[in-house]
Amino acid sequence: MTVTIEVSAFTGPYAGKNAPPTSYPIGLPELLNRAITVGGFVVGSAAHRTMRRGAIGALVRSSVHVIGAPPALSVTLLYERTESSEKAGITFRLGMAFAAIAASRILGVPALTHVGVLGGGRRADLVGADALNQTHIVEAKARAHGFSTTEEAHAKAQATNTAANLLLTGTTAATASTCLTDLSNSPLAVKLTDPPGSEDEPRRLDRPELLREYYSVVPELLSMKDREPSGIPVVDDHVDGAWLPGGDIWIGLERPLLETGRTTQRWDRVMESAMADERLSRENDRDGQHADDEDLARRSFTASDGHTVVLREHDGL
């Protein structure tokens, strides 16, 4: 399964990230993992938050499938025929998920949360930190029929405005990029661009709240139902999880993180390890984790942050 990612306009220490459209082995399990974990900070009970995550997963899975040879991610006929106002919510979810994929694979930022800064003007969607605790802002957008020059300019303005607002709080962004996902292409096409911004040295972003939210998915799921096997022995040997409401998407977390790691200090160490170059390179080679087994590579994705997603297969999906 492939998605193309183009990277442009990054400067300074990030100039080496720039690349023409390049195919990446991104499958449905990875897309669902990012769709479920991106954003965060939604107030509610564990049960309601878990049902919401199940609904997001079902929404994304009904809208994207694998087609063609070589196999590539593309939108489904259901997505194409959905009424425009309803489609807007689905498109928003897909834009967020692909922004999280691009941030992880290109910038080494495994977790993105919604921006929570005050200030005038429209603001970008997401913010996260890399292994050096440098802040990265990403404005996520997706469109069913590509992007106009005006839309790209507005997205860049939002990212730059967020960087300015964060600077007022004492945090300087290392990058303030736009992630534009064109859903009209097959394979789906993602463009990550960093508009001109501040030249100041990046400062540290406090991460404990981000980590608590990011790693809440599986503990909250297991607070409302017992552990369930994924049905894949190499996963069930060391990962605990359960099927999200709806029953078609299984998500789990490495057992040590559940049994002894429910502290931000433990999760922080795991996240730092996940962001290390050697582990990210292994993740970016994925289908990677089950490259010798085509069925497992199609059905499951194991992120370097400890999460695993497994799909239940159905005829027609």
Q: Give percent above pLDDT 70 in the chain.
A: 79
Mean pLDDT of the 159-178 span = 75
Judged by DSSP in three states, 29 sits in: helix
Report the C-alpha gap between 315 and 32 in whole angstroms.
19
pLDDT confidence of residue 211: 78
The pTM for the full model equals 0.81
Contact predicate 38/221, CB 8 Å: no
**pLDDT tens-digit series, residues 176-231:** 888 999 999 888 999 998 866 444 444 445 567 777 788 889 999 999 999 999 99
pLDDT confidence of residue 162: 72
Residue 302: CB atoms within 10 Å: 25
pLDDT confidence of residue 58: 94
**pLDDT tens-digit series, residues 20-76:** 999 999 999 999 999 999 986 677 899 999 999 999 999 999 999 999 888 899 999
User: Above 70 in pLDDT, residue 317?
Assistant: no
* Closest of 256, 249, 262 to residue 219, by C-alpha: 262
Report the C-alpha gap between 264 and 207 in whole angstroms.
9
